[in-house]
Amino acid sequence: MKKNQILSLVTIGLSGILYFVYNLINLIESKDYNLWDNLGVLLYTILLVTALAYAIIERKLFAGLVVTMLKITLPFGHRFLNPIVTTGKYDVSGAVGVFYVLFAILAIVSIVALILEANETRFVSSKYEFKTFLGPLLVFIFLFLFNDPSVAIIASMAEIISLLLMAVITEDFLFLSFFITVPFKFVQKRVNGVDVTAFEVIYLVLGVELFIYGVYALITQIKHASHEEHGVVH
């Protein structure tokens, strides 16, 4: 195994593990009245880490590094770097602060690994059908309407890059992660006695339907990959 591959594997794996532990600590320390929200976050975390695991399994390390940077190391590393740049100070007394430092270091390592991996990555230069990017488009529209434009852009970009690099199963798990929290957020509001609007009902219905679609797409892709692995020709 080449040195750049080892660096990529370590970066992706360590980022995924630290992200899981970070969220697990937050869930343990969170308040009891956020039970359903916490369960949704836990499932989201598991799906995202699984997406990274499949990037390694599929040997799509470049895609794994991009997803790691967009979803983990840059967003969380920024929470350490931003105070340093703006105020020149940072408090690392708590566990959360230590995690931000580690993510900042991994963000820098991710960039180095990405540059090295680019020299070894074969980029597919072929025409794609519109339906190939239906998943990222649905993610962008849903998050743009119900979340935040910046979140929608980052999420859809992670999916698009995964598809361009043929990390299809990774993209499927990413797709599922964006909708897994929808029913849990809805239930949490009902448990907390918050009045549900028609807009939130639409959010629930669309989110659940898109999650079911994502499960179907994932199962189909896994079956297809299994057939290819065993040399089944249709």
Which residue, 85, 195, 1, 220, is CA-closest to 9?
1
The whole-model pTM stands at 0.86
pLDDT tens track of the chain, all 234 residues? Answer: 788 889 999 999 999 999 999 999 888 887 666 888 989 999 999 999 999 999 999 889 999 999 999 999 999 988 887 777 677 666 666 677 788 889 999 999 999 999 888 777 665 555 667 778 899 999 999 999 998 888 899 999 999 988 888 888 999 999 999 999 999 999 998 888 888 889 999 999 999 999 999 999 999 988 877 766 555 433
Q: Where are the domains of the chain?
A: 3-229
Q: What element of type H or E holds 113?
A: helix 95-118
Contacts of 188 (CB under 8 A, 6+ apart): 34, 35, 36, 37, 40
Rounded Cα distance, 82 and 89, in Å? 10
